[in-house]
Amino acid sequence: MANITLKDIAHSYTGESKNPDDFALKKLDLTWRDGGAYALLGPSGCGKTTLLNIISGLLHPTRGEVLFDDQDITDLPTEQRNIAQIFQFPVIYDTMTVFQNLAFPLKNRGRSRKEIEPRVIELAKILGLEKNLYTKAQHLTADSKQKISLGRGLIRKSVNAILFDEPLTVIDPQLKWELRSQLKFLHKKFGFTMIYVTHDQTEALTFADEVIVMYEGKIVQVGTPEALFEKPEHTFVGYFIGSPGMNVCPCDLQKDRIFIEKYELALNKIYGEVDPSSKIEVGIRPEHLSLAPPDTTGLPVKIIKVDDIGRHKIVRVALKDKEFNVVAPELSGMTGDSCSLIFDIDHTNIYVNDHLISGERM
């Protein structure tokens, strides 16, 4: 068991290069605490899998070092690292029985049959596979197969970290739920470090103590699920987390007030001078916007569309050609399609070139 540290890691699939665009993974530094549950969140192609493969040793990073505690293991081959990896599609050895599948990693490491057998049976019980121990693995359902893949990771007691690469993609929704809680239980029981790649935010948020959001090969934010929701440090995090995502709208900034389409909005913070050539945007979650009857103190907007999604409504409103999503419990007291948009200024964030800037509270 050890902390895993990535030191100045960068990776390019075409080899060392001066052009930063060649890098699938741009320079990153990160430490995974021993026993932590991490979710790695990001859109397809943002470098999540590349990062996992570097940790497990399937890829050798173009630059940087991988450390287990203080030991540099960058050049250690995969099979000698105490890492297991579960893939998107269940990987099983078709011609073997469930027992043989689970025993395979130990057998390859030359363990004796005496040692392997009780371990396999014990693990099969925990995973709920004991009834099928002697069936050919290929005859099982997708979720059982994925349990076998997981079992092959857990069978080695020395396993440091288990990397999950979107492991529930091919599982039916209700079984997904079940497997997810089983994973949580196993994580508690065995205390391995868990790094869970997904592009499903619910999955990430329910699982992890800490969520790492990646975007275009960079880590844009590391934080608890709450922090990601309340204070997205990058507009991408705002878009990506929450449903619907954060509203991001270009604006002009003047100390303690912003102007959206010439309409003024007072903030409760003072911001310093910002280079006028940079991109300045205001970001606010749909949950922190509200609607009021027209001519109240707010921005005059027009309602374009209302989606009723059960407990609340998602209202799409337009301020000239700028559009916002608003989560509204009820549309009472409003007639016609014009109304006022009210910002909750405590939750209004300002972004310069996509990055959150902090202001001084007044």
Partner 1 sequence: MIVKQVNQKAWFMVLPVFLVVAFSAIIPLMTVVNYSVQDTFGNNQFFWVGMEWFTDLLHSERFHDAFLRQISFSAIILAIEIPLGIAIALAMPRKGWGVPVCLISMSLPLLIPWNVVGTIWQIFGRVDIGLLGHTLTALGIDYNYTQDPIAAWLTIIAMDVWHWTSLVVLLCYAGLCSIPDAYYQAAKIDGASRVSVFRYIQLPKMQRVLLIAVLLRFMDSFMIYTEPFVITGGGPGNSTTFMSIDLVKMAIGQFDLGPAAAMSLIYFLVILLLSWGFFTVMSNIGEESSNGGS
Rounded Cα gap, residues 275 and 273, in angstroms: 7
Q: What is the smallest separation between the CB atom of 1 and partner 1, expressed in angstroms?
A: 18
Q: Determine which helix (DSSP H) or strand (DSSP E) holds 72, and give its type and residue range.
A: strand 71-72
Record the tokens describing residue 77, joined without a space.
Answer: 């081959």
Using CB under 8 A as the binding rule, whether residue 50 contacts partner 1 is answered as: no
Give the HSE-up count for residue 128: Cα atoms under 13 Å, Cβ half-sphere: 11
Q: Does 129 bind partner 1 (CB under 8 A)?
A: no
Of the residues 42, 47, 105, 283, which one makes contact with partner 1 according to CB under 8 A: 105
Rg of the chain over Cα atoms, rounded to whole angstroms, equals 25
Task: Report the distance separating Cα 360 and Cα 362, nearest Å.
Answer: 6
Give dist(CA 266, CA 254) in Å, integer: 10
Residue 116 vs residues 128, 141, 194, 278: alpha-carbon distances, Å: 18, 25, 24, 62
Is residue 78 part of the contact set for partner 1 (CB under 8 A)?
yes
Verify binding: residue 198, partner 1, rule CB under 8 A: no
Nearest-CA neighbor of 169 among 194, 203, 139? 203
Residue 84 in the binding site for partner 1 (CB under 8 A):
yes
Q: Does 96 bind partner 1 (CB under 8 A)?
A: yes
In this complex, which beta carbon is closest to partner 1, that of residue 3 or of residue 135? 135
Q: Which of 344, 202, 328 is nearest to 283 (CA)?
A: 344
Of 111 and 269, the one with the shorter C-beta distance to partner 1 is 111
Annotate each residue in 4-33 with x if it binds partner 1 (CB under 8 A) or - if it does not, as one string.
------------------------------
Among residues 33, 60, 109, 255, the one that binds partner 1 under rule CB under 8 A: 109
**Which of 153, 242 has the CB closer to partner 1?**
153
178 in contact with partner 1 (CB under 8 A): no
Residues 6+ apart with CB under 8 A from 106: 115, 116, 119, 120, 155, 156
CB of 57 to partner 1, least distance (A): 8
Check residue 76 and report its DSSP letter: S
- Inter-axis angle of helices 173-190 and 113-127, nearest 10: 130
> Of 9-17, 79-87, 247-255, 331-339, which segment contacts partner 1 by CB under 8 A?
79-87
Binding mask 133-172 for partner 1 (x = CB under 8 A): -xxx-xxxx-------x--xx-------------------
Closest approach of partner 1 to the CB of residue 14, in Å? 13
Q: Which residues are at the interface with partner 1 (CB under 8 A)?
A: 53, 56, 58, 77-79, 83-85, 87-89, 91, 93-97, 104-105, 108-109, 134-136, 138-141, 149, 152-153
